[in-house]
Amino acid sequence: MFSYHRVPLPPPATSSDSLAFAADAENYVRRIRENYDARANGHRRHYRASGILVIVAGASLPILTTLDYDGKELAVSLIGVLVSVVTALRAFYRWDQIWALLRVTEFSVSQAYWEWRRSIDGRLDTTDAVIAAKNREATALLLEKVAEIRSNEAISFFKDLPFPQKHYDQR
């Protein structure tokens, strides 16, 4: 049920003077987009599956309590525990909020990527000095935007997490 996604490595250390700079940056940004998309899809699946499970299990409780069968107390208790555990997991993992956050981040990275694609002039491996300089500048700007988007995503994620406060005994 749970899946783990590798976070893409930082942008390549290719020199911005290298002909591979733009292509390496493009590959990096595409990996980031794919990572956010996969993670958002995973959180969406967890959110929906857990919601359906809570609804079905909770709705079955009235039926289970009115029927006469062996192990009734155990069955009702187990369904109650299941509803409680899944509800707690939904609150703990915040799959709905994280799904939305990851999707918005993926949209933002995609927008920056497509703006970059529109701004580059000609092929990425061009030997025309003026075009290559313009492409390098646009590529550096793309990497800065993506870093800012990812930073904002992290800030948004962590701002709502309750962190324990340190209490000092002042005697």
Residue 73 structural domain: 21-159
| Residue 14 lies inside a defined structural domain of this protein | no
| Residue 171 lies inside a defined structural domain of this protein | no
| Residue 64 lies inside a defined structural domain of this protein | yes
Whether residue 32 contacts residue 8, with contact meaning beta carbons closer than 8 Å, is answered with: yes
Q: What is the pLDDT of residue 165?
A: 65
Whether residue 63 contacts residue 161, with contact meaning beta carbons closer than 8 Å, is answered with: no
Long-range contacts of 145-151 (CB under 8 A, 24+ apart): 145/112, 146/29, 146/32, 146/109, 146/112, 149/105, 149/108, 149/109, 149/112, 150/32, 150/105, 150/109
> How many domains does the chain contain in total?
1
The helix/strand/coil state of 10 is coil
Q: What is the pLDDT of residue 124?
A: 75
What's the whole-model pTM score?
0.81
| Residue 16 lies inside a defined structural domain of this protein | no
Q: What is the pLDDT of residue 164?
A: 65
| Residue 103 lies inside a defined structural domain of this protein | yes
Q: What is the pLDDT of residue 80?
A: 97
Q: What is the pLDDT of residue 128?
A: 82
| Residue 108 lies inside a defined structural domain of this protein | yes
Q: What is the pLDDT of residue 15?
A: 81
Query: Would you write out the chain's pLDDT as a tens digit for each of its 171 residues?
Result: 445 566 676 676 678 877 788 888 999 999 999 999 999 999 999 999 999 999 999 999 999 999 999 999 999 999 999 999 999 999 999 999 999 999 999 999 999 999 999 998 767 777 788 888 888 999 999 999 999 999 999 888 888 777 666 555 554
| Residue 136 lies inside a defined structural domain of this protein | yes
| Residue 134 lies inside a defined structural domain of this protein | yes
